[in-house]
Amino acid sequence: MLFETFNSSKEARTALEAASDLGIPGWGGFVCDWTGKLLNGETAAQVAAGLKGIEPDVLLFNCAPVPDITLALSELAKHYDQPMGGYAHVGRFDPPDWMFTDEYPPDQYLAAGREWIRLGAQVIGGCCGTTPMHIETLKQGLPKTLPV
């Protein structure tokens, strides 16, 4: 079960405990801001500490701009040695619609994916505004296997 777009480790912990109780794998995705912190102010270190004992099978950051995901993963990598990953949004939300932009075309998104892997990410995907071309470019350009 992929739980995504969390804004607190407490909420994620509840969901991950439910997955554990059901005996199914649980992945936890968090939204971060431009400082790499969750929207509730928790740091990556606080998220890692908040999930102590119920670590998700993969801890991810999602639904934030590419540079924010990069910053959050770099902070998390200092405090967390379990599988992690990221999937950013590209474009802008202009209620009620998503505005597609060309700020992260597939080749630039691939470059971000490579940076996330360098930081230790093992799961890379795409969130709001990414297209099938973004995912295809990741598939073609990222290593097929990563060090564990």
Nearer to Zn ion, 99 or 148 (CB): 99
Site stretch for Zn ion (CB under 5 A), options 37-45, 65-73, 74-82, 86-94: 86-94
Nearer to Zn ion, 89 or 134 (CB): 89
Nearer to Zn ion, 39 or 128 (CB): 128
- Contacts of residue 19, defined as CB under 8 A and 6 or more positions apart, other chains included, come to 1, 3, 25, 26
Q: Number of C-alpha atoms within 13 angstroms, CB side, residue 42?
A: 21
Burial (CB count <10 Å: 0-12, 13-18, 19+), residue 46: middle
Which of 19, 63, 64, 90 forms a contact with Zn ion (CB under 5 A)?
63
Query: Least distance in Å: CB of 53 to Zn ion?
Result: 28
Cis peptide before 96 (omega within 30 of 0): yes
Which of 69, 119, 127, 138 forms a contact with Zn ion (CB under 5 A)?
127
